[in-house]
Amino acid sequence: MDIGYNSTYLTPVSATIGPAGQQAGKNVASNIVSPGLFRVGVFSSSNLSPIGNGIVAYVTFEISCDAPFVTYGLSNTPSAATPEGVDVPTDGSDGSIKVVEESTSTTTTSVITTTTIQPTTTTSVITSTTTSVQPTTTTIPSTTTSVSTTTIPQEADLLVSLGVNKTLVRRGDLLTYTITVKNFGPNTATNVVVNDVLPDSTTFYRAQSNKGRFTTPPQDQNGTVTWYVGDMPANDQQNAQLTVTVIIKGKSTITNIAKVKSGNPDPNEDNNTASIKVTVWSGTSGGGKKK
């Protein structure tokens, strides 16, 4: 609240909290805004309770009386009194205090007048300010590095060879070939397979080995014998026996051929094929098949 006063004759002294303001848990602060204008504020930093009816605050002025019948104006002042409790008359229109008694001394006297501020309703408005912080996205450039991978072939040098149990046969004889496969490395040979296409002058009788498995034509029929050896480490050697029946008559020659391959590159393919020849005499074997 701002209180206007005659700065020539009035001087603000203090502002104190009144009963109603004290009951509401309020405090009071004051300052001289400018000569002739005194500002009084009632506040509370934590208590927002409203102020009830009654005296909110007291404002004290010092009045210098150096002439009789001088009017000391106090605007916004509903009532006032001297320290001795004597009411000071005011007019109803502007609330000014009029001193009606004459000074009896040439010495300046001070009359203390208290102005009562009527209760007011204080509304505390709490303003909440929300600051929105937008997320910051930092894009880091991606770098793609291409790495060329060169696969070194795992070479395996395979050799196949053929042996036979007899070099002269007649019609009806059993002829046994020995197929030998060796891996000279330097790596393991995977999925090693041997194919032997039987000569037209023979039919299949049997096949056996300590490693792998066979596919064959039916017994006493011609066709291809396949030996699935499997994987062979470097320096490994495997053998198989293939027995056939000679069916040709008269003087002739039987040539048998075997071929080997694997899932690895072979640096020397010249030793992947083997062949052997057997001479057929005229006539028929007298003893027949020997098992």
Domains and CATH numbers, the chain: 2-117 (2.60.40), 156-284 (2.60.40.1530)
pLDDT value of residue 1: 73
pLDDT band of 38, cuts 50, 70, 90? confident
Residue of higher predicted confidence among 247 and 12 = 247
pLDDT value of residue 96: 40
Q: Which residue has the tokens 């030793």?
A: 271
Nearest residue to 220 via CA among 250, 251, 240, 243? 243
Report cis status (omega within 30 of 0) of the bond before 218.
Answer: no
Q: Using one digit for the tens of pLDDT, what is the confidence trace for 184-196?
A: 999 999 999 999 9
Residue of higher predicted confidence among 64 and 124 = 64
The average pLDDT across 88-106 equals 38
Round the average pLDDT of the chain to a whole number and report it.
76
pLDDT value of residue 174: 96
Does 265 score more than 70 pLDDT?
Answer: yes
Q: Are strands 174-186 and 156-164 parallel, antiparallel or unpaired?
A: antiparallel
- What CA–CA distance (Å, rounded) separates 277 from 252? 10
Encoded tokens for 74: 């106090």
Q: Side-chain half-sphere of 55: how many Cα atoms within 13 Å?
A: 15
Q: Which of 30-34, 128-132, 162-166, 184-188 has the lowest mean pLDDT?
A: 128-132
Those residues with Cβ within 8 angstroms of residue 52's Cβ, 6 or more apart along the chain or in another chain: 20, 23, 24, 119
The average pLDDT across 206-224 equals 96
- What CA–CA distance (Å, rounded) separates 244 from 290? 11
pLDDT value of residue 144: 63
The average pLDDT across 57-84 equals 56
pLDDT band of 3, cuts 50, 70, 90? confident
Q: Which of 33-42, 69-78, 202-211, 247-256 has the lowest mean pLDDT?
A: 69-78
The average pLDDT across 41-51 equals 74
Residue of higher predicted confidence among 266 and 97 = 266
Residue of higher predicted confidence among 65 and 220 = 220
Question: Residue 141 to residues 113, 134, 138: CA-CA distances in angstroms?
Answer: 79, 22, 10
- What CA–CA distance (Å, rounded) separates 15 from 18? 9
- What CA–CA distance (Å, rounded) separates 48 from 284? 132
Residue of higher predicted confidence among 196 and 148 = 196
pLDDT band of 70, cuts 50, 70, 90? very low
The average pLDDT across 200-215 equals 96
Residue 185, phi-psi category: left (phi > 0), alpha (psi -120 to 50), beta (remainder): left
pLDDT value of residue 52: 76
